[in-house]
Amino acid sequence: MSFVLSCGSTADLSRERFESRDIRYICFHYQLNGVDYPDDLGVTMPFSEFYTAMANGGETSTSQPNISDYLEYFTPFLEAGKDILHVELSSGLSGAVNSARNAAAVAAERAPGKYRGGRRCDRPCHRQ
């Protein structure tokens, strides 16, 4: 079985760690002084620049990927015939997991018979 291990950029790992473990991630988004950026782990804007801007009074906000973002992110993996194990923030912290689930449902509608469906785990999951 070929699968992709995936999570959101909110996981507490560096870009180098993601790459060394072959873990894929979808970028959350943030705004700094009204400008949108992907949370691409310091690629677009180095962390030092971001924190300096915050220390100097920069206005920041964050947002989660939407259903379209997840669908665009998941589709290449699915088209390559890969299963996806995606780990996301708890629904108590973010709505991201619901966006991911809704994108999975859309993917299932677009490719009947190819998508086997996901298993929802809001606590540790165990095989039965």
Q: What is the pLDDT along the chain (128 residues), one digit of tens a residue?
A: 688 999 999 998 999 999 999 999 999 999 999 999 999 999 999 999 999 999 999 999 999 999 999 999 998 988 888 888 888 887 778 888 889 988 888 887 877 666 555 555 554 444 44
CATH code reported for the domain at 1-27+66-121: 3.40.50.10440
Considering the entire predicted model, what is its pTM?
Answer: 0.82
Nearest C-alpha neighbor of 69 from the set 9, 2, 11, 3: 9
Q: Are 2 and 10 in contact (CB under 8 A)?
A: no
